[in-house]
Amino acid sequence: MTNPIEPDPMTDEAIAWAVRVGDPAFDDWEGFERWLSADPAHAAAYHAASAAEAEMVALLAAEPKARPLPDPAPAPVARPAWRRWTIPAAAALAAAVVGTVAVERQMRPSAPLVYETAAGAHRTVALADGSSAILNGATRLEASGDDARSLTLVHGQATFTVRHDEAHPFRVAVGGASVVDVGTRFDIVRDARETRIAVSEGAVDWQRDGNSVRLNAGRSLRVADGSSQVELADVAPDTVGGWAQGQLSFDGVSLAEAAADLSRTLGTAVAVDAALAHRPVRATVRLDGGAARVMPRFAALTGLRAIRDGAGWRLAASP
Amino acid sequence: MATGLEGVFLQHRAQLLRFLQSHGAGEAAEDLLQEVWLRAARAQAGPIAQPLAYLYRVANNLMLDRHRSQRQAAIRERDWSDATGATAPGRSDEPAGERVLIARETLTQVQATLAALGPRVEQTFRRHRLDGVPQRQIAEELGVSISTVESDLRKATSALVKLRSTWDEG
């Protein structure tokens, strides 16, 4: 019952198929069927390998939750460069790590690291320099392979908590500009053609084409691509990055922007009637209960109606 | 709206049925094909680029789910017979409470197994299986060929399947 599976050709074949079939772009279904049909044991081997692998992936997916207890004696673990490649592994693995450092050197040093989330998902990324970023849904953040303190927010939303280092500033490239920290916790939203930044602690400099704007805690900035007009506004510092704490705050943004934030956070499409798109929204909405609870809650707070629209939602005027 | 997908489903019915049978569906194949259609129609949001590949995908997932639930049922039955006194040979009699602690240990083993394969293999596996990034894109990100990505994924999968087989469970 507990004999370890010896490496055998059929298991290897099953694993090779599991890898191929596991790619979303896989399209050789008839070839796969031919292999399965060739021997009834093939299907059993494929099912067993896939199930075992899926179980391991499920364990890994629960990684942060699986370590709820802080290490009683947090040994100062050196952060070797390769750790950039992984979600922080358990400190217990430090021994296993030693053997792998050499391999990293053979890798292309400049390949960017990409952190990506699906709509509705959150992910905390520990950066090699001790800073961290929390990614909201539908977000893509890239780190340069050479410098963990140089990031690009391609799209979506992320809240950064930065370990400040005067000599080596932390930089996020976004929408053709740079955001440079001055000791900081801040949030960036990158939509198709617009960037929004809000600062809750410390300050950041937003820099583009030699111009610079200093944003202190409690201030936010909004700029459209290519526009020379930069809008500055106040923001309640404790609401910045609130989506990571289970609430979303809207402080006078347009309903269209609020809908994009809701969509990214909830992982569902949120459409807005065109006539309402520019209406300003001031509300803080709790995010528990999923879209089915949040959308009616948001609508009630803003005097709108939330209507199911196919797989997503639509915000319309009250009757 | 569903007529496009439904058309493809009906046109390839025999082919999909054969696929389910190759998965060991046996006499349940017709029922499972119905289940494929229900799942596919339910999950459909917007037009689908490759409807036939999508239907195959749904069928494949259904068969994997079916295998998993059958296996879990078998394990439950066995655990029950263990609990009622029959100690299976080769298995330790651990109370359920201890298994929770063991879960943390197993995660450490999984992490160590992946880490031991080297950073590129680990990164490739995590990007593909945890972040859902397609293999071609990973190849571009890491500057390696797609066959390297495939071979790295085979290595990681093989090591994890092997690790799984050493754990005490049928």
Tens digits of residue pLDDT in A244-296: 777 888 877 889 889 988 988 888 889 998 888 888 888 888 888 888 889 98
The domain tally of chain B equals 2
B145 to A20, A29, A103, B77, B139: CA distances (angstroms): 15, 23, 17, 46, 6
Contacts 24+ apart (CB under 8 A), B103-106: B103/A59, B103/A66, B104/A66, B104/A67, B106/A59, B106/B167
- Whether A108 has a pLDDT exceeding 50, the answer reads no
* Integer Rg of chain B from CA: 21
Residue that the structure tokens 């950066």 belong to: A127
| Same-domain pairing of B29 and B99 | no
Contacts of A51 in chain B (CB under 8 A): 64, 67-68, 71
Q: What is the CATH number of the domain that holds B44?
A: 1.10.1740
| Same-domain pairing of B88 and B30 | yes
| CATH number for the domain running over A112-239 | 2.60.120.1440
In this structure, how many other beta carbons lie within 10 angstroms of the beta carbon of residue A80? 15
Contacts of A33 in chain B (CB under 8 A): 18-19, 22
CB contact under 8 A, B68 and A310: no
Contacts of B64 in chain A (CB under 8 A): 47, 50-51, 54
Candidates A154, A156, A159; CA nearest to A176 is A154
How do residues A141-153 score in pLDDT, each as one tens digit?
A: 888 767 778 899 9
| Same-domain pairing of B53 and B120 | no
**Residue A312, SS3 per DSSP:** strand
- DSSP 8-state code for residue A83: G
Contacts of A22 in chain B (CB under 8 A): 128-129, 153
- DSSP 8-state code for residue A168: S
Please tell me the predicted confidence (pLDDT) of residue A12.
93
User: Angle, nearest 10°, between helix axes B119-129 and B135-142?
Assistant: 140
Q: Which of B93, B124, B145 is the last residue of a domain?
A: B93
Q: Which residues contact A209 (CB under 8 A, 6 or more apart)?
A: none
Please tell me the predicted confidence (pLDDT) of residue A89.
36
Q: What residues form DSSP beta bridges with A43? A: none
Interface test mutation site (partner B, options A29, A30, A83, A106, max chain B beta carbons within 10 A):
A29
Task: Identify the weakest region by mean pLDDT among A97-101, A158-162, B114-118.
Answer: A97-101
Confidence of residue B79 (pLDDT cuts 50, 70, 90): low
Q: Which helix (H) or strand (E) holds A306?
A: strand A304-309
Q: Which of B26, B61, B93 is the last residue of a domain?
A: B93
- Whether B104 has a pLDDT exceeding 90, the answer reads no
Task: Identify the weakest region by mean pLDDT among A8-17, A89-98, A145-154, A251-260.
Answer: A89-98
| Same-domain pairing of B120 and B149 | yes
Candidates A117, A122, A234, A134; CA nearest to A185 is A134
Interface test mutation site (partner A, options B16, B109, B120, B148, max chain A beta carbons within 10 A):
B120
Confidence of residue A64 (pLDDT cuts 50, 70, 90): low
Contacts of B135 in chain A (CB under 8 A): 23, 25
| Nearest-CA distance A98 → chain B (Å) | 10
Give percent of chain A with pLDDT exceeding 70.
81
| Same-domain pairing of B12 and B53 | yes
Tokens encoding A112: 């960017």
Q: Compare A80 and B138 and report the one with higher pLDDT.
A: B138
| Same-domain pairing of B87 and B3 | yes
Please tell me the predicted confidence (pLDDT) of residue A111.
57
Q: Compare A41 and A60 and report the one with higher pLDDT.
A: A41
Confidence of residue A86 (pLDDT cuts 50, 70, 90): very low
Task: Identify the weakest region by mean pLDDT among A23-32, A254-263, B46-55, B60-69.
Answer: B46-55
Residue of B nearest to A61 (CA): B130
Please tell me the predicted confidence (pLDDT) of residue B98.
43
A258-288 CB burial, b ≥16 within 10 A, e <16: bbbbbbbbbbbbbbbeeebeebebeeebebe
CB contact under 8 A, B119 and A54: no
- Whether A70 has a pLDDT exceeding 80, the answer reads no
Average pLDDT of every residue of chain A: 77
- Pairs across A and B, CB distance < 8 A: 177
- Whether A113 has a pLDDT exceeding 70, the answer reads yes
Of A1, A66, A100, the CB nearest to B103: A66
Q: What is the CATH number of the domain that holds B110?
A: 1.10.10.10
| Same-domain pairing of B85 and B104 | no
Residue range of the domain that includes B74 = 1-93
In this structure, how many other beta carbons lie within 10 angstroms of the beta carbon of residue A146? 12
**Residue A163, SS3 per DSSP:** coil
- Whether B37 has a pLDDT exceeding 50, the answer reads yes
Q: Which helix (H) or strand (E) holds A152?
A: strand A150-161
CB contact under 8 A, B107 and A62: yes
Contacts of B126 in chain A (CB under 8 A): 60, 86-87
The domain locations on chain A are 9-61, 112-239, 246-317
How do residues A183-228 score in pLDDT, each as one tens digit?
A: 678 889 888 788 989 888 888 888 887 778 888 888 888 888 878 7
Which amino acid is present at A217?
A
Contacts of A94 in chain B (CB under 8 A): none
**Residue A75, SS3 per DSSP:** coil
| Same-domain pairing of B12 and B62 | yes
| Same-domain pairing of B84 and B16 | yes
C-alpha span between A230 and A196 (Å, rounded) = 10
| Same-domain pairing of B66 and B142 | no
| Same-domain pairing of B39 and B105 | no
Q: Which of B69, B93, B117 is the last residue of a domain?
A: B93
| CATH number for the domain running over A246-317 | 3.55.50.30
Alpha carbon A23 to chain centroid, angstroms: 21
Interface test mutation site (partner A, options B117, B147, B160, max chain A beta carbons within 10 A):
B160
Contacts 24+ apart (CB under 8 A), A278-283: A278/A254, A279/A254, A279/A255, A280/A252, A280/A253, A280/A254, A280/A255, A281/A250, A281/A252, A281/A253, A281/A254, A281/A255, A281/A257, A282/A250, A282/A251, A282/A252, A283/A249, A283/A250, A283/A258
| Same-domain pairing of B80 and B118 | no
Of A2, A29, A53, the CB nearest to B160: A53
Residue that the structure tokens 């947090």 belong to: A74
Of B15, B53, B157, the CB nearest to A15: B157
ipTM of the complex: 0.85
| Nearest-CA distance B95 → chain A (Å) | 19
